[in-house]
A and B are shown apart, each in its own frame.
Chain A
Amino acid sequence: MQERVKSPKFDVVGTRPVRPDGADKVTGRAKYGADHNVAGQLVGKVLRSPHPHARIKSIDTSAALAMTGVKAVVTRDDFKDQSSEFVPAGEMLVNYRDVVRNVMAREKVLFEGHPVAAVAATSESVARAALRAIKVEYEILPHVIDVVEAMKPDAPIVEDGMITVGVTPPPTKPSNVAKRVEFVLGDIEKGFKEADLVIEREFNTKPVHQGYIEPHACVASVSEDGTAELWTTTQGHWIARAHCARLLGWDMTKLRVTSSEIGGGFGGKTVVYLEPLALALSAKTHRPVKMAMTREEVFKASGPTSGANVWVKMGVKKDGTITAGEAVLKYQAGCFQGSPVQPGCMCAFAPYDLANVKVVGFDVLSNRPKVAAYRAPGGPISEYAVESVVDEIAEKLGMCPIELRLKNAAKEGTKAAYGPKFGPVGMVECLEAAKGSPHWKAPLGKNQGRGIAAGFWFNIGGETTVNLQLNEDGTLTLMAGTPDIGGLRASLAMMAAEELKIPYEKVRPIIADTSSLGYNFVTGGSRSTFSSGLATVEAARSIIKQACGRAAKLWEIPEDAVTWESGEIKPAGDNAGKFKPMTLTDIAKVAGKTGGSIVGVGAISAQGAAPSFGVHIADSEVDPDTGKLTITRYTVIQDAGIAIHPAYVEGQYQGGAAQGIGWALNEEYIYGDDGKLQNAGFLDYRIPVASDLPMIETIIVEVPNPRHPYGVRGIGETAIVPPMAAINASAARATGVRMFELPLSPPKVLKAMKAAKKA
């Protein structure tokens, strides 16, 4: 199954065909979360907490329930409490004690927007009126928003009685620090002693939202016999099924979950919010219930990623050899534990081959929505800080920042601080490509600066099932279960076509529901093309094997006397030339008479995932009067392993870069002293628009993953890692001042420039 790539020359892989789901998406036919309607459906709405932190003394729903058109109300009383333990859900560890409290507040509300009740009514206006009729009595508690404040001994405690894990001996007093993690390699004291230059810096970043344009939406329908259908926009419908079945105490088999077309996720649609509420409301009424979040609800009550405080210290010799790297990461988790601080720690120094590393991370609660995964969760924050220090080292040593990185770059055999040794990786190749790029050599204009930064992110495998059925006319239907957010169906059809030596158009891929296909873990961890690709190849090879078996039967020769060669089934050995070769189409036509339908199944736990390194070059120009930074040129260089569909690989590079540009320049959650979010809309939470950006140049580096038949690496996430540091470095040169806080918004930049002028 797993073999080294012999030659990157393929018939289909590497071409750019039109995606199979394309026509439906340019004509408005494709059905997303909010586009599905069921006859007789009710409208579900959520009552949300107006307070960042309060004890719920009572909830009175009687007036709402008495209203005409109100069919059901659910509150904390409708969900059984769950014990506090981390249990596996697919590859994730999930604490259902927290999940049940996140979908519906129990003892306390923990952030502004926390659900307190949900209603189902005959119309949107009745549902809204019902929310106003629900009386909730709160005892308001002091709140804490900032991560550093939340770690102070006298901070308000978000989770009563929480004791920090990972500290010996365990603390005796509760705090907001859920966990301390540590990764150590070598001896940093020794490393710093060897250094000629030591730089120590502190950075702060703000929470940013995934910003998918499609708000969360679902339709639930529970029958009188307890079977249920759920239509939802999700990155993983098997995980959605697991969470809902657990929270509602149902058998999984009774719940059929269909993933709609998904209007962006970026990690934020790997959790459930509305789904358990809609199912609970439908279970009470036996009417379909449709729920959709408003944009304000998306911002206030679905996961942004962490804001953080990061301290970095690095030592380096005069020749550019980095002797030690140390970092302390304090990540906001939101109101429940589980920030991405661990991957943040693992990524921090991953682009470098270092002997001495120590990274300590803290997972810290505060009165914010629980963070959700966001593209390379945790990585962009720690690598922004480390790469910014690397850039400062290059400047202080008078070294080219590419040469400094080349001198220390991770390569095959490098032992990462978090444990494993890298296989073949493309960090050096990306740096070399950057050095040779037209962008790196281009002249700069007035008030402009150029920055470069590297980034690393993992790739995961996990449980994956693909089903390929050979239709009677020789075409194939491919069922995958990792929701397709941006071209997956094209890539899978291409790999099937390549393997079966048939035209791409003859394979029709769909995303199947949880009752039609074996288990699939989420689309996340840059795994869908990698893992579903592996399962597709396995399914295709099974089709070939079965087809050969059918030919053997027809020819009345042993199965091992039949071979598959360039799309044809041929008799071999002593029988060579005795029978006319058959194609898959020939076999398909006689399948019914030779043993029945031919179905190939790839049901695997995908192994051999390979990480991807990237290097970004950013040019920024500062307006000296306003402090506004504009990105004037941008290039993404990243290792794709092998690009199956290069246009969608480029798309991932460009999209990741654009999100990183937003993170670097504009995006942030702004809270008032009252603990309430002040910019819960696209007008005030400004993601990059078309006129903010230049064309984003891409260079696809291909260092094949030896453990994938087509050399695939996960590539979707790495591209959001380097932008913040690359832009920070370019801003330092454009403005003449180094900054240590994101976003680099105009007032902040102007203030820094004015302060530098005075000094």
Chain B
Amino acid sequence: MKHHVTTTVNGDEVEFLCETEQTLLDCLRDELELTGTKEGCGSGDCGACSVLLDGRLVCSCLVLGVETNGKKIETIEGMATGDKLHPLQRKFLEHAALQCGICTPGVLVAAKSLLEKNPNPTETEVRYWLAGNLCRCTGYDKIIRAVMDAAAEMRGA
């Protein structure tokens, strides 16, 4: 029998049915058709499926869909406001901080969560916060620069 789950996704109340073993990642992608959240490993090692659950950064592949009942989920699809990209999104484009782009949604969600907690991170702090988000294309250099630059802009520096 499937479970009936009611959650808030990017500010909208949504309902879905899921099997007990279905992860939040599967529910987002297969039940809600929100495919911006990516699966790279399914074991919590790559961070491509990063989302915020009640404000906390999690790998959605390590959370069950049924656990999210009554909770607030934020995904990459909710990051831009209207036609305005979030400063992180804009800085990623300006700095060419993505190549293939598959890790990008997870990195952006994780970076947003960092800047909410620490608006003025050092390079080392950014590197350690994003250590759970694997990128195979960029060597991280431009990602780190884009995050630092976005942080500076958001601080009004």
Physical interaction between A and B: yes
Chain B contact surface mostly:
loop
Q: Judge whether B39 and A28 touch: CB under 8 Å.
A: no
A658 touches B140 (CB 8 A): yes
* Measured CA separation A34–B42 after assembly (Å): 13
Pairwise interchain contact A690-B126, C-beta atoms closer than 8 A: yes
List, in ascending order, chain B residues with CB within 8 A of A30's CB. Answer: 101
Of B37, B48, B77, B142, which is in contact with the most chain A CB atoms at under 10 Å from its CB?
A: B142
With the chains together, A263 CA to B43 CA distance in Å? Answer: 18
A residues near B140, Cβ cutoff 8 Å: 658, 688, 690, 693
Q: Which of A22, A213, A652, A696 contacts B136 (CB 8 A)?
A: A213
A659–B132 CA distance with the chains assembled, in angstroms: 17
Q: In the complex the two chains form, is A25's CB within 8 Å of B131's CB? A: no
How many A-B contacts if CB must be within 8 Å?
A: 184
Is B103 in the interface zone, CB < 8 Å from A? yes
Residue of B with least CB distance to A261:
B101
Question: Could you tell me how many residues of chain B have their Cβ less than 8 Å away from some Cβ of chain A?
Answer: 59
Q: Which residues of B contact A693 (CB under 8 A)?
A: 127, 139-141
The interface bits of chain A over 641-683 (1 if a CB of B lies within 8 angstroms of the residue's CB, else 0) are 0000101101110110111000000000000000000000111
Are B136 and A654 within 8 A (Cβ)? no
**Which of A26, A657, A682, A688 has most B Cβ within 10 Å?**
A26
B137 touches A486 (CB 8 A): yes
Complex contact A264–B137 (CB within 8 A): yes
Residue of B nearest to A16 (CB): B96
Identify the closest chain A residue to B106 (Cβ).
Answer: A213
Q: Please, which residues of chain B bring their CB within 8 A of the CB of A29?
A: 36
B102 touches A263 (CB 8 A): yes
Residues of B within 8 A of A261 (CB): 100-102
Known: A655-B138, A691-B128. A27 touches B85 (CB 8 A): yes
Assembly CA distance A737 to B99 (angstroms): 37
B:101-157 near A, CB below 8 Å: 101-105, 108, 123-124, 126-128, 130-145
Determine whether B60 belongs to the interface, using a CB cutoff of 8 Å to chain A. Answer: no
A651 touches B100 (CB 8 A): no
Residue contact A654 to B138, C-beta cutoff 8 Å: yes
Candidates B108, B136, B139; contact of A212 at CB < 8 Å: B136
B67 at the interface (CB under 8 A from A): no
Tell me the count of chain A residues lying within 8 A, CB to CB, of chain B: 59
Whether a CB of chain B sits under 8 angstroms from the CB of A687 is yes
* Chain A residues, Cβ within 8 Å of B132: 689
- Of chain B, the residue at the smallest CB distance from A18 is B93
- Whether B96 contacts A28 by the Cβ 8 Å rule is no
Q: Mark B30-66, 1 if CB is under 8 A from A, else 0.
A: 0001111111111101101000000000000000000
**A407 CB within 8 Å of chain B:** no
Task: Report whether A690 and B136 are in contact in the complex, using a CB–CB cutoff of 8 Å.
Answer: no
By a CB distance below 8 angstroms, the chain B residues around A32 are 38, 102
Verify B48–A213 contact, CB threshold 8 A.
yes
Do B100 and A695 touch across chains, with their CB atoms under 8 A apart? no
Output the nearest chain A residue to B92 by Cβ-Cβ distance: A26
Q: CB distance B136 to A695 under 8 Å? A: no
- Of chain A, the residue at the smallest CB distance from B94 is A18
Contact among A28, A214, A487 for B37, CB-based, below 8 A: A28
Q: Tell whether, in the assembled complex, residue A690 and residue B89 are in contact, meaning their CB atoms are under 8 Å apart.
A: no
Please name the residue on chain B nearest to A483 by beta carbon: B100
Alpha-carbon gap, A736 to B73, bound state (A) = 53
A428 smallest CB distance to B (angstroms): 26
| Distance between A27 CB and nearest chain B CB, rounded to angstroms | 6
B131 partner, pick from A292, A682, A689, beta carbons under 8 A: A689
B96 touches A487 (CB 8 A): yes
Whether a CB of chain A sits under 8 angstroms from the CB of B5 is no
Quick check: is B76 within 8 A (CB to CB) of the other chain? Answer: yes
Which residues of A lie under 8 Å from residue B136 when comparing CB positions? 210-213, 264, 266, 655, 658-659, 687
A28 touches B105 (CB 8 A): yes
Instruction: Choose from A213, A266, A294 the contact partner of B135 (Cβ within 8 Å).
Output: A213
Check B141 against A295 for contact (C-beta < 8 Å).
Answer: no
Of A215, A294, A691, most buried by chain B (CB within 10 Å of CB) is A691
- Cβ-defined contact, A689 with B134, below 8 A: yes
**What 1/0 flags go to A30-48 for Cβ under 8 Å of B?**
1110110100000000000
B66 CB, min distance to chain A CBs, angstroms: 15
Whole-angstrom CA separation of A213 from B46 in the bound complex = 8
Q: List 16 A-B contacts (CB under 8 A).
A: A19-B96, A28-B76, A29-B36, A212-B100, A213-B103, A263-B102, A295-B42, A485-B100, A487-B99, A655-B139, A658-B136, A681-B43, A689-B132, A690-B130, A691-B124, A695-B123
> Which A residues are within 8 Å of any B CB, using their own CB?
16, 18-19, 21-23, 25-32, 34-35, 37, 125, 210-215, 261-266, 292, 294-295, 485-487, 645, 647-648, 650-652, 654-655, 657-659, 681-683, 687-693, 695-696
